[in-house]
Structure 1
Amino acid sequence: MNAITGTYECKVDAKGRLMMPAPLKKQLSVGIDDGFILKRSVFQPCLELYPMGEWKKMMEKINKLNRFVKKNNDFIRRFTAGVKMVEVDAAGRLLVPKDLVVFAGIDKDIVLSSAVNIVEIWDKDRYEQAIDDSVVDFADLAEEVMGNLNDEDGIS
């Protein structure tokens, strides 16, 4: 799958349904009939939407962990806590289960943000806080994470 691109603001209705933005739906169209996995994020108070193909790749990695190592077993349990299979309905909506709405603090306004091969689903206010440059100096973070990488093309 190619990288997913874009950040989209939308609303969730009282039942937890969100209308999938057309540009995002188009990017996900190849595997849309296979459904998605929706789960809690490991590091942030948001949700992660995995196209089924990406989820299968992740599970291949997870399945290589030795289940007789307690840390591995604990990780698997926590990583898969609250995992739900979801589908886009005929009207183009995605239902976010209530327990995941509560976990992410989703109220009404949300942000769907691409994160390479998955989509993060955020409460809008929490998303704005997470990307606030005053909390983390993005320039320093970018240098630390990407500063030592040199592409074959000489692009860094």
Structure 2
Amino acid sequence: MLMGEFQHSLDSKRRLIIPAKFRDQLGPEFVLTRGLDGCLFGYPQAEWQRLNEKLQSLPLTKRDARAFVRFLYSAASDCSFDRQGRVNIPEPLCTYAHLSKKCMIIGVANRLEIWDADRWSEYNSDTAANFDEIAEELNIDF
């Protein structure tokens, strides 16, 4: 299970260190793609295959289903780590997530998320302010 948050810097060649704890769980190759809320999603191969099966079952006749699948797959990239534990983030993904030098790498159960640090801070503050209401709405029982 991927969990926790870490801050690392994106270098001039768009390489980002992924924490060793996450590298072990992602495996030698994983898929990085556009995520929701303006971040990137990184999936271990097994999780990507499970998601692929779900997406393949969406009805081709539904416009929203076609749009979602196109948007997700068109930017998807097979990734691997270099010897320093860095991943090279493709330019379209950097642009989509507005990644600057400071990035946050977040573990979210079956995937990792990569956020621009300032955008993560803003998102996290907004969510924290409504955390109780969100839990109530989702009927989360701790």
TM-score by length of 2: 0.90
Distance 1:143 1:94, change over 3 A: same
1:8 to 6, 9, 26: 6
Q: Secondary structure at the match of 2:51?
A: helix
1:131 to 111, 115, 124: 124
Q: Secondary structure at the match of 2:38?
A: coil
Residue 26 of structure 1 corresponds to 24
Say if 1:7 and 1:113, in contact at 8 Å, map to a contact too. Answer: yes
Higher relative contact order (CA 8 A, sep 6+): 2
Q: Secondary structure at the match of 2:112?
A: strand
* Larger CA Rg, structure 1 vs 2: 1
How far did residue 134 of structure 1 move?
A: 7.3
1:81 aligns with 2:79: no
How far did residue 58 of structure 1 move?
A: 0.2
Aligned residues: 142
Residue 52 of structure 1 corresponds to 45
Say if 1:6 and 1:24, in contact at 8 Å, map to a contact too. Answer: no
Q: Structure 2 matches for 1:102-113, cutoff 5 A? A: 102-113=95-106
Residue 113 of structure 2 corresponds to 120
Q: CA RMSD in A?
A: 1.8
* Structure 2 stretches lacking a partner, 5+ long: none
| Greater than 6 Å deviation, 4+ residue runs | none
Indicate the percent of aligned positions where both proteins have the same amino acid.
Answer: 30
TM-score by length of 1: 0.82
1:69 and 1:45 mapped to 2: Cα distance?
24
Q: Secondary structure at the match of 1:131?
A: helix
1:121 and 1:139 mapped to 2: Cα distance?
25
* Alpha-carbon displacement from aligned partner over 1:26-50 (angstroms, at most 9, x marks no partner): 333xxx22x11111113x1111111
